[in-house]
Structure 1
């Protein structure tokens, strides 16, 4: 069986153009700079043993745009934090292009966590620009620089913000989310979607329809565990049993230790439902809720997210094409 066609935009990463600058063409696109996470080994020996193996797994190339959805029907369990840290981890340690998308229809905070509070374009602006351009050229936004104008950037990670007006955001439906994913697949190799808590919202159907790997986030509490199970049930009920079987449950420690629940029992329970369970240790800076500074996150927590990213990257060469 032949591999899916490679992303035609590979090797053409560019930062958003300066205000008033003309979008660059594919012929003159700048070559990607090396990642800070890879530059740090310059002039000294590279890591060896297990660390080198983990980096090699994390840097597994994609053969097509790969889509990861992070979800939970319960808020406050670390879903947005997980999306942000996973994106930052891929961005820090890979040479290709990663984007995180805020698909929360209720004024999501992903862009705030990564970029700080600011006025910036949203996914609705991106889709509107696609429609305008398609009316002009019949093809839509075809150059990465055109797409980047509607995104934010931190380090090597790009960010697509959600609409902050709830009335407008609620009307962003399944077709809009499919269109968003289609646009981003022209310019990015890894697309991470921070989904909302409303599993019945039509936008969630659009997200699940193109998902390659599902992450369900839980916290070490009885209510959070039950809602994580309910999330898996809802995904199954919507017709995606394979996503449930291959799902990764991420248990985020939002306190230094679990209280009133046996953590090992919790892990074993989720392992009966899906493939993998990953624990993310408590980090006080992350759970303060402010803008995330990757380099100030504890080494243990960064390492846990590297393990999660490596696990996901193991599937980059074997995943079947998304619908």
Structure 2
């Protein structure tokens, strides 16, 4: 009987801690902002889940926030972001919108050029489903600065580093998410990115989170050792576990994600938002 009582108390304590943590994360995600916050997502190479992470962040903010959220693709190399976000049709690209944006435009004017996302929020692709001219820094700056007036949070799916737009996005964003695959090369390269960020002004490293992704159910690298190595410069590392739904490609449905993946996505979004709001 005593053992049963202890077990029940442990279960109750665990459930209480879980509710407390979920409440903390929800508050973090719903923080009010005075001006639009930009969260840039990049990686050292393609195929490691960069666009998937950007889509997860966009969908998480769409779900938790009651103000407008934009997910913006800043990679013209036919990325997977529109597919991952479940956009049914794409009419305008980042470059198209840059040519017609004016200060007099209202939110309703702007959203007419964006793709609506099924669970709320908006998407602005980098291209119209075909290989286009590379997005240049001037266009990127014009679009992100203008759209910050309308959207509380903008998640930017950047090109891979060391691309010029990616470097600009990482330098100017309020928070940064660097996606690292759980491989020796990926962890080593990401550590070099963190060292580069440490040399930038405006506390770039202090506003960076690393998403350590597992693209295979069979892990070769020790996740604890990889996490410890990436944490050394002083950043937070969130491990996104292998997930069958994400591995299958196609539109992301949060209800089909594994519980561990859902929890990791929420934590990653909360960590990024905390850092984005902290910047003045």
By the TM > 0.5 criterion, same fold? yes
1:254 to 195, 200, 215: 215
CA distance in structure 2 between the aligned counterparts of 1:188 and 1:119, rounded to whole angstroms: 19
SS in 2 for 1:289: coil
CA distance in structure 2 between the aligned counterparts of 1:316 and 1:227, rounded to whole angstroms: 24
Unaligned runs of 5+ residues in structure 1 are: 1-46
Task: Assess if the C-alpha contact under 8 Å between 2:41 and 2:176 holds in 1.
Answer: yes
Query: Residue in 2 aligned with 1:175?
Result: 138
Query: Residue in 2 aligned with 1:151?
Result: 114
Q: TM-score, length-normalised on structure 1?
A: 0.75
2:151 to 175, 184, 188: 188
- The alpha-carbon deviation at position 240 of structure 1 amounts to 4.4
2:23 to 52, 56, 64: 52
CA distance in structure 1 between the aligned counterparts of 2:90 and 2:25, rounded to whole angstroms: 37
Alignment of 1:259-298 (within 5 A): 259=220, 261-298=221-258
* Number of equivalences: 261
Tell me if 1:228 matches 2:193: no
Query: Residue in 2 aligned with 1:122?
Result: 93
CA distance in structure 2 between the aligned counterparts of 1:213 and 1:316, rounded to whole angstroms: 5
CA distance in structure 2 between the aligned counterparts of 1:235 and 1:169, rounded to whole angstroms: 28
Tell me if 1:216 matches 2:187: no
Task: Assess if the C-alpha contact under 8 Å between 2:179 and 2:213 holds in 1.
Answer: yes
Task: Assess if the C-alpha contact under 8 Å between 1:63 and 1:316 holds in 2.
Answer: no
CA distance in structure 2 between the aligned counterparts of 1:235 and 1:49, rounded to whole angstroms: 33
Task: Assess if the C-alpha contact under 8 Å between 1:74 and 1:228 holds in 2.
Answer: no
CA distance in structure 2 between the aligned counterparts of 1:316 and 1:208, rounded to whole angstroms: 12
- The alpha-carbon deviation at position 243 of structure 1 amounts to 1.3
- The alpha-carbon deviation at position 107 of structure 1 amounts to 1.9
Structure with the higher helix share, 1 or 2: 2
| Runs of 4+ displaced beyond 4 Å | 233-237
Alignment of 1:299-318 (within 5 A): 299-318=259-278
Q: TM-score, length-normalised on structure 2?
A: 0.85
CA distance in structure 1 between the aligned counterparts of 2:191 and 2:75, rounded to whole angstroms: 20
Task: Assess if the C-alpha contact under 8 Å between 2:92 and 2:114 holds in 1.
Answer: yes
Gap change, CA 1:117 and 1:244, over 3 Å in 2: same
Tell me if 1:66 matches 2:37: yes
Query: Residue in 1 aligned with 2:8?
Result: none
Task: Assess if the C-alpha contact under 8 Å between 1:162 and 1:169 holds in 2.
Answer: no
Query: Residue in 1 aligned with 2:126?
Result: 162
Gap change, CA 1:115 and 1:279, over 3 Å in 2: same
Task: State the Cα deviation string for residues 68-116 of structure 1 (Å, max 9, x = none).
Answer: 1101121111111000001101111111121111101312221121125
Unaligned runs of 5+ residues in structure 2 are: 1-17
CA distance in structure 2 between the aligned counterparts of 1:51 and 1:257, rounded to whole angstroms: 29
Task: State the Cα deviation string for residues 241-282 of structure 1 (Å, max 9, x = none).
Answer: 7213431111012122421x2211111111112321111121
Task: Assess if the C-alpha contact under 8 Å between 1:185 and 1:191 holds in 2.
Answer: yes
SS in 2 for 1:217: strand
Which stretch of structure 1 is more off in the superposition, 144-153 or 243-252? 243-252
Task: Assess if the C-alpha contact under 8 Å between 2:208 and 2:275 holds in 1.
Answer: no
